[in-house]
Chain A
Amino acid sequence: ILNVEQSPQSLHVQEGDSTNFTCSFPSSNFYALHWYRWETAKSPEALFVMTLNGDEKKKGRISATLNTKEGYSYLYIKGSQPEDSATYLCAAASGGSNYKLTFGKGTLLTVNP
């Protein structure tokens, strides 16, 4: 079973603060790392999918990095806004063609105005 850990479990920041959270996963047999944003009463929506060591992706104020050798990914939010409040999930895929995509339990971000 692939063990995907996210930290912190929850985070409160003030509007305008920049923040980041961590996803760690086993580095052996790694194939892909996904980040999803999950707002209350909605479904998770994909932010990024990364596969290569050193990958860095950006979407507006949100960016993510990937280190496959040490088994971690960071998600950064610059200048947090109240609408960024959500649970951020990461998921790791391993195993090649018969892969398994396993989710962490998420980081709940609350941005106070």
Chain B
Amino acid sequence: DAGVIQSPRHEVTEMGQEVTLRCKPISGHNSLFWYRQTMMRGLELLIYFNNNVPIDDSGMPEDRFSAKMPNASFSTLKIQPSEPRDSAVYFCASSFETSGGEGELFFGEGSRLTVL
């Protein structure tokens, strides 16, 4: 199995530009998570999906952030417009859950975003 695949691995963009991060979860997993990692806050949950349906998006910082999961094998996290404070490493993770919370997460390698 290829594991969770994220792209791009690195992105440098200018303030105001749109950024799209992509994730392909492990085949057969039914839950997908987007986390943001910063020095100050550690790993913060932004949003998670179960069976392609967004369950909890309370961690999404503001309206500039949006996430979609159009099918079981693909998800995007979009930031529009981007700001320097969005600079962070964004991780996607997937798991197989039966009753909630007990499936171990498999993480992608992360997308390092720098907004100038």
Contacts and interface: CB of A to CB of B under 8 A. Distances in A.
Interface stretch (A15-23, A60-68, A71-79, A101-109): A101-109
Interface in A92-113: 93-106
A75 B81 CA distance: 42
A34 B63 CA distance: 30
Contacts, number: 62
A50 to B, nearest CB: 9
A28 to B, nearest CB: 14
Contacts of B106: 46
Contact of A99 (B44, B101, B107, B110): B101
Interface of B: 33, 35, 41-45, 48, 55-56, 58, 91, 99-110
Q: Which 6 A-B pairs have the closest CB atoms?
A: A93-B101, A46-B104, A43-B107, A105-B42, A99-B101, A32-B101
